[in-house]
A and B are shown apart, each in its own frame.
Chain A
Amino acid sequence: MLEIKDLHATVAGRTVLNGIDLVVPAGEVHAIMGPNGSGKSTLSYVLAGRPGYEVTRGSVHWRGVDLLALPPEERARAGVFLGFQYPVEIPGVNNVYLLKAALNAARKHRGLPEVDAFEFLNVVRDKMKLMQMDEAFLSRGVNEGFSGGEKKRNEILQMLVLEPSLALLDETDSGLDIDALKVVAQGVNTLRAADRSIVLVTHYQRLLDHVAPDRVHVLARGRIIRSGGPELAHELEARGYDWLLGAA
């Protein structure tokens, strides 16, 4: 279970999160929606431990572990995965190396033996088929020269390989055409499991047509101002955010 209490955070001295309370039980998919600048991406970065995002108050526990006490790499090894809104290009470091290094870091943390190159390729090939990605992507630099859609597929591929227990997907649907959206959604749905929590940060209902959320939360001005079932996303699609912002 992910348990966030009274979370406040600043970025470059500016307060962005103003007291977030959120619980995401294991096995559930929660969507976080909200207008631009509401703090959605900041929340993702704070949970993943990005330097420069300073928590000034509150707590975050994941499976009882104080997440905020861990550096980003230990959060990742503990099962936290952040799918970036803007995946970073790293020319010179190829995908296959990063994926294998990341997988083995997680396995080592869990006390499992590292996978060798043969085992790894077997694992990754299946996932690539699911994501409809050509194997040539493996030998390319991380996200180097990828289209926006390819980058997002690559993020989901990494998630499928790493099998995190907490997946935070920051606007994974942005920049995707309908077909790519379906592929990405299929990847997310594949990962749904009773012992796993998924947080989808999104602007739009359309991703939620393919990945049915258990709960929907509206984030505005750094706080969650409304929570509800999947119907809340439809209401937001129809009415926008203004009616909520006025009441908040």
Chain B
Amino acid sequence: MSQSVSSLPSNRDENWKYASLRALSNARFDALPTPDEGAIARAATLLTPRPDGFVRLVLVDGCFAPSLSDPLPRGAVRSNPSRIETPDDMDHLFATLNARHAREALHVTTDREAALQLEIWCITVSAQTDGAAHPLLRIEVGAGGQLDLVERHASAPDTPTLTNLALYLTLARDAQARIVRTQACDLRAQHQETLQIDLQSGTHCELVQITDGAAHARTTAFVRHSGRESRLRWASAALGRGTQVQDAYVHVDHAAPGARTEQFFRGIANDRARVAFNGHMKVARGATDCNSDQSLKCLLAGNDAEADVRPQLEIHTDAVQASHGATVGKLDDTMKFYLLSRGLDPEVAENLLKWAFIADVIARIPLPQIRTQLAREVASRMPGAPPFGVES
């Protein structure tokens, strides 16, 4: 029996103000069927070359696909999702649904001071609308360990299917993570994702996220600096075109002294798209000497486009350094004229300026070979863009 939910968030809920929820009102959250060989074959066509040295793991319609994956690395298991517990609140509703309906969890644990380079693909190919893909990832990086994670989300053409991802990441003491996430699903798809990241003492997490796919996409992220002197660098870019909605809510809880967060967002809303980013920085009582810096900017590049960037500070202690900047603006006319005066077509000039706008996010991708590849991928999806890559 299909199951919907009786109470989804609404735009009256503060943290869901800019999300696109209408399409979810009739959504069914039962897990999609286990993919057959045809589905696996369709998923295979979406894979790009594996980065050198990385272990590739592929989930199709929320299920682990051994035939598309490398052997599970040491410490990785397919486990029962019922062990996942989520807070009982609206912001975690989709994580709860994920835990309830996911067919399995992919659970990766690394040893102390071990290094792992992991590429995870979550591909949805089913065209069924009476169910959802629920990829469920749990990653625990051992003390002093190093994780390089490339997480890719894609869907087959013309699939309106809902993907509802949950990612749980824990960095044990002094561990480091470099994470690159992309979401380039089909423009009919629905994409929901909930991230929970726990940063223990002395950890360092660099995360870059680029989203330009799906009809309606929402990232809900909770990052907790649970240990002293942990560092987070969060950079994300969201590109919306047509009637896409790209929405993100990122809550960072500085729960221990000396935690530092740098949050950087660049969004571009073309056509009639809506792009929103809500960055909520909380500094808990007693979490002294924390530092938070937010730079949130959005470019309105369509007459009917909408952009909302919202930095929020919630500070419960003294001795904190917190800065934030948020702007929404249009393409700079002087820059555009400069490019036109050099003979560039108006469309090329505009796309160059849009590229320039998100270039700082691309530049923050901490893995050079991934940076080059993603720069080319993103450029190729900017309509009318010249064939430029990271070198431009």
Contact = CB atoms under 8 A, between A and B. Distances in A.
B84 interface: no
B304 interface: no
Interface in B335-372: 335, 337-346, 348-349, 352-353, 355-360
B66 interface: no
A57 interface: no
Determine the interface band of chain A, counting residues with CB < 8 A from chain B.
Answer: 20 to 34
A106 B342 CA distance: 9
A244 interface: no
B348 A92 contact: no
Contacts, number: 86
Interface string A76-88: 1100011010011
A92 to B, nearest CB: 3
Interface string A204-246: 0000000000000000000000000000000000000000000
A79 B342 CA distance: 10
Question: Interface residues of B: mostly helix, strand, loop or mixed?
Answer: helix
B353 A90 contact: yes
Interface stretch (B46-54, B145-153, B197-205, B384-392): B384-392
Contacts of A75: 341
Contacts of B352: 90, 93, 97-98
A101 B355 contact: no
B334 interface: yes
A63 interface: no
B345 A73 contact: yes
B338 A71 contact: no
B356 A90 contact: yes
A10 interface: no
Given A51-B333, A97-B392, A98-B339, A92 B344 contact: no
A37 interface: no
A105 B345 contact: yes
A93 B355 contact: yes
A92 B337 contact: no
The 10 A-B residue pairs with the shortest CB-CB distance, nearest first, are A92-B356, A92-B359, A97-B392, A76-B343, A105-B343, A102-B342, A72-B340, A88-B338, A73-B340, A77-B343
Interface of B: 333-335, 337-346, 348-349, 352-353, 355-360, 386, 388, 391-392
Given A49-B340, A73-B343, A94-B391, 5 more contacts: A51-B337, A72-B337, A93-B352, A109-B343, A162-B343
